[in-house]
Structure 1
Amino acid sequence: RGTKKQIQLFCCALWVIWGSRNQLVHERKFRSGRDLSHKIQSYLIELEGVREKKLTSTPVRSQGQGGVELRESIQFDAAFDISNSRSTLGIVARDQNGEIKVSKSTLHFNVSSPFVAEAYACLEATKLGINMGLDSVTIMGDSKTIINKCRMTIRDKSILGAIIEDT
């Protein structure tokens, strides 16, 4: 039990110490107590700055029959680690005003390529929209290959096609 600030300090210190321990074990990289203390302090200052700064975003506009309308959007992206065959994906869902409603990140193992990573991210973004009960949503990603394959009417027989077909 403690104040919110004490709990935040404890969690941040634990996170930094654990990360330092992992670096020592896996990379043989040693960090002094002074370095750890500076990292904790700078991270807490950064968190305070984030709290003070209001996040802003531009709402997604789509062309409807009545002109420009605001709508919900889901943005996705993936990062691929070729040496470990794994990927991390991030998804952010926003309402009509651009406010973040849901954010999600997932780690996938045994991923064969960055294209497969992006396909999984697209699949997860689609599932999120369905689970949120959205009737109409704009799903955005930065992989032109995946977006083009999603728009194809011909069945793609590759691994990407199998993942995209699930969407």
Structure 2
Amino acid sequence: MEKLLGKVDKTELSEIATVMRSLWLRRNEFCYEGLFKSPSQMLRTAKEELHEFEMAQQKLIANSQGNNIERRNQVWQRPKENYIKVNWDAALDLKGRKAGLGVIIRDEDGEPLVAVEGQQTNVVNPAIVEIYALWKAMEIYRDLKMERVIFEGDAQLIVKAVNSQEEDRSVYGSIVEVAKSLLGLWKGWSVEFVYRNEMR
């Protein structure tokens, strides 16, 4: 490890550590659950998790430097008239390999209409849980045939993926593509990024 520290920079070291962790998890999944991930799938997952970690670190740095004071004081904003706002979120217990999902739906006056919660097991990637929560929220409104809906979440990676025109080839890409197809069916639907404190 000491030799490695002298040869690579901080960015490369982070990539190496993330890949090593993914190798360890891959080994455990194979030994204890009989699951086998291909090397390419493992590398994709490692890159995605590193990206999520780096974004979280950047957010913490911005907060500590005081650049986010005004944003921290912001609160939930009501949608346009005749629109519904859906806030979704997810939390991952990496050690327990389980996640909690939450969706709250409010009208233009901020009154809660529906609250939905759920759980998922055998998950280790926070992005998978976030896109699954968004997809579930979209399914509710597809079934209700609601035409004016704003979906808000604090997972910037997922918001960008769903709004992107390019095909998503990540490990959770299939769910992203389903979410995109649902979004394309309704002209009054949008998926937007907000910071966590603005979802309350």
Q: TM-score, normalised by structure 1?
A: 0.58
What code does the residue aligned with 1:61 have? P
Q: Which structure ranks higher in relative contact order (CA pairs < 8 Å, sequence separation ≥ 6)?
A: 2
Q: TM-score, normalised by structure 2?
A: 0.49
Partner of 2:162 in structure 1?
150
Deviations 1:3-59 (A, max 9, x none): xxxxxxxxxxxxxxxxxxxxxxxxxxxxxxxxxxxxxxxxxxxxxxxxxxxxxx955
Structure 1 residue 60 corresponds to structure 2 residue 78: yes
The offset of 1:125, in angstroms, is 1.2
Q: For 1:106 and 1:130, how far apart are their aligned partners in 2?
A: 19
What code does the residue aligned with 2:117 have? S
Structure 1 unaligned residues grouped into runs of 5+: 1-56, 63-68
How much identity, in percent, do the aligned residues show?
A: 27
CA RMSD of aligned residues (A): 1.7
What code does the residue aligned with 1:93 have? I
Give the SS at the match of 1:162: helix
Q: For 2:76 and 2:102, how far apart are their aligned partners in 1?
A: 19
Matches for 1:1-167 after TM superposition, within 5 Å? 60-62=78-80, 69=81, 71-167=83-179
Deviations 1:124-153 (A, max 9, x none): 111122123211100000000000001111
Structure 2 unaligned residues grouped into runs of 5+: 1-74, 180-200
Q: For 1:58 and 1:85, how far apart are their aligned partners in 2?
A: 31
Query: 1:75, 1:93 within 8 Å by CA — same for their partners in 2?
Result: yes
Query: Greater helix share, 1 or 2?
Result: 2
Query: Greater strand share, 1 or 2?
Result: 1
Partner of 1:53 in structure 2?
none
Moved over 3 A (4+): none
The offset of 1:164, in angstroms, is 1.2
Relative distance call for 1:104 and 1:90 in structure 2 (3 A) is: same
